[in-house]
A = this chain, B = another copy of it.
């Protein structure tokens, strides 16, 4: 079974899959149980051994950000050497106390790894609005730093919350100048939304490139992956992507070179598949939809979001109901109301709406359509008036399980 399971992601010809828990040369990681969760791993440390490591980072655009995001944004984002993450309790909305816990975490990790505090990034996930207990986190950091090893197995488990399984992949990328490794570990299943999601993604490569090139590649690939998914339309307070390139392979990737393109293609496929794993692991999710919208450049994005975030469209996706009426209604909500509603819609390649009106479906064609929407990945293609714009959003279905999961009251869970 290949990692690249989605039909919406092409595996580049020049990549080879490795053991998914491997790390590129010169990276080490660990994950430990520090008692923040009732059970399981909850503190994770990732570090690069190479002093010349460069990095890039992206964070949530929510106005309410967690203390780890505040501290990380002030760090040396192009010169990070390590990252510390915890799950089980998100350090958000706890004021001065939470901020000082984040600073203390950064300092302790830096001290143990022989680094300056600004070269350590932080990430935190779990219920928000509660005290993250400082003692257990610092003890967890100490324990993790003492156990750093060459794979990301425990690391990739320690960052999870409501995820069903680790989300990770390691690749060998065949460049013209040599072979490099590229790996990533991600988490996320709920509060996943517009403008990227309650998710973490840690990316490592031993390719030798500048911080500017890494930042450019990460920026483009995040826009095409985590930026294009929605489980529930809810932008998290703590979304974080950290990418590290430590040059340990000795294989250079120059700006605007063939190898930059090859590494970029590998990173693009990797992050898109990880983003799709987040959607398909959405809380209670059983199916993934993709809405593609083509038309006026300024309107494609709100229309795609309106469809992807409609609970009626999502519930229909869950029920394998080819409910084109709800797609029209959701699209109409985001389209200008003073213009003719001239849209076309195809579901799984079958045209069902033409110029705003439903195409008559005879019984045989309706049955065919019903069969077509029973799969795990359902494609919706919408054409709206205007030109120059095209976008896509991947979204999960809305099930009873999502509602049940998110309405179970956990005492004191703010």
Contacts and interface: CB of A to CB of B under 8 A. Distances in A.
Interface of A: 61-65, 92-95, 98, 127-130, 190-191, 193-194, 232-237, 309-312, 315-326, 328-333, 335-337, 339, 341, 343, 352-353, 356-358, 366, 370, 397-414
B414 A234 contact: no
Given A127-B325, A335-B64, A407 B398 contact: yes
Question: For the complex formed by this chain, how many copies does it contain in all?
Answer: 2
Given A329-B64, A358-B129, A323 B399 contact: no
A402 B64 contact: no
B406 A335 contact: no
Given A64-B332, A333-B234, A337-B63, A315 B129 contact: no
Given A63-B335, A232-B312, A399-B407, 10 more contacts: A193-B333, A232-B310, A234-B310, A234-B330, A234-B333, A311-B403, A311-B406, A319-B409, A322-B414, A325-B414
The secondary-structure label for the interface of chain A is loop
Given A94-B357, A400-B404, A370 B411 contact: yes
A296 B22 CA distance: 50
18 contacts: A61-B337, A62-B332, A64-B332, A94-B358, A127-B325, A129-B328, A129-B358, A191-B329, A235-B332, A235-B333, A237-B329, A315-B403, A315-B406, A320-B409, A321-B413, A397-B407, A398-B406, A400-B400
